[in-house]
Amino acid sequence: MNAIGTDGLKRQAAEAALAFVRPGMRLGLGTGSTAAHFVELLGAKAREGLELLCVPTSEATRAQAERCGLKLTTLDDYPELDLTVDGADEFDERLRLIKGGGGALLREKIVASASKRMVVIADASKRVATLGAFALPVEIVPFGARSALRRIEAVAQEIGLVGKAAIRLTSQGTPFLTDGGNSIVDCAFGAIPDPEAFAQALDATVGVIEHGLFIGIASSVLVASESGVETLGE
């Protein structure tokens, strides 16, 4: 813990991301507590007259953006966006990410991939030398979920990753469902030395819809620590 506090650092990263926003932009809005700071700050700018059109990555972000007075649109109306600003569960020096802690990874990846730039905002606790301390979220079809879980464990084992994969539950103990009505498997396999290989293996696994490894998608990571906000990438 530090003097500013983790939430204060998240806010600082979100404030720094405002510098990337220009009038008239079409923006992707991320999901999670760090992204929520950005949505709030952006809402204040919109109320001051900044013209923007936004695509939210979850129903929670949609509700917050509406409350903040942001104008919303869809990828059907605007298939290409200028910028997405989103948080992450982990990032490394090569701007590879683990996302999906909030269960929004599918829409987050679709929206970020439709954007010319993805700016990630994070406090420094998310910075890692090797991805994998955070259990990797994988979105799967609910039908045959336990079979998909076994297939995920098997493909992980083939590339030397061993650990525990579990279907995510809500705090009430019922299966967690994403905004798209899918399940999440959280893969606690420890360090992932070759994220590209694991991403490829997951992409080819029956029942897997998408995974939380974001590789080659983020353009920059704004990292907030006690000593200020550092920009990784361009």
Minimum gap (Å) between residue 168 Cβ and ligand 5RP: 11
Number of residues that bind ligand 5RP (CB under 6 A): 18
Beta strands at 53-56 and 164-167: parallel, antiparallel or unpaired: unpaired
Minimum gap (Å) between residue 200 Cβ and ligand 5RP: 21
The answer to whether 28 and 86 have CB atoms below 8 angstroms apart is yes
181 marked as binding residue: no
Beta strands in the chain (DSSP E): 26-29, 53-56, 81-86, 90-91, 97-98, 115-123, 136-140, 164-167, 183-188, 208-211, 213-214, 220-225, 228-233
Q: Residue 89, interface with ligand 5RP (CB under 6 A)?
A: yes
173 marked as binding residue: no
Active-site position among 108, 139, 153, 210: 108
Task: Assess whether 108 carries a catalytic annotation.
Answer: yes
The 10 Å Cβ neighbour count of residue 23 is 9
Burial of 51 per CB tally in 10 Å (0-12, 13-18, 19+)? exposed
Report how far residue 220's alpha carbon sits from residue 117's, in angstroms, rounded to the nearest whole number.
8
Task: Pick the binder of ligand 5RP from 28, 43, 56, 100 (CB under 6 A).
Answer: 100
Looking only at residues 35 through 74 of this chain, which bind ligand 5RP when binding is defined by CB under 6 A? 35
Of the candidates 180, 167, 174, the one whose C-alpha atom is nearest the C-alpha of residue 135 is 167
Beta strands in 93-171 (DSSP E): 97-98, 115-123, 136-140, 164-167
Binding mask 22-41 toward ligand 5RP (x if CB under 6 A, else -) reads --------xxxxxx------
Nearest to ligand 5RP of 108, 210 (CB atom): 108
Q: Which stretch binds ligand 5RP (CB under 6 A): 94-102, 140-148, 173-181, 182-190?
A: 94-102
5 marked as binding residue: no
Q: What share of the chain is helix, strand, coil (3-state, %, to 5)?
A: 30, 25, 40
Task: Pick the binder of ligand 5RP from 39, 41, 60, 88 (CB under 6 A).
Answer: 88
Residue identified by tokens 């200028």 is 82
Task: Pick the binder of ligand 5RP from 28, 43, 56, 101 (CB under 6 A).
Answer: 101
Nearest to ligand 5RP of 30, 207 (CB atom): 30
List contacts with ligand 5RP (CB under 6 A): 30-35, 86-89, 99-105, 108
Residues annotated within a binding site? 31-34, 86-89, 99-102, 126
Residue positions annotated with a catalytic role: 108
Residues annotated within a binding site for substrate? 31-34, 86-89, 99-102, 126
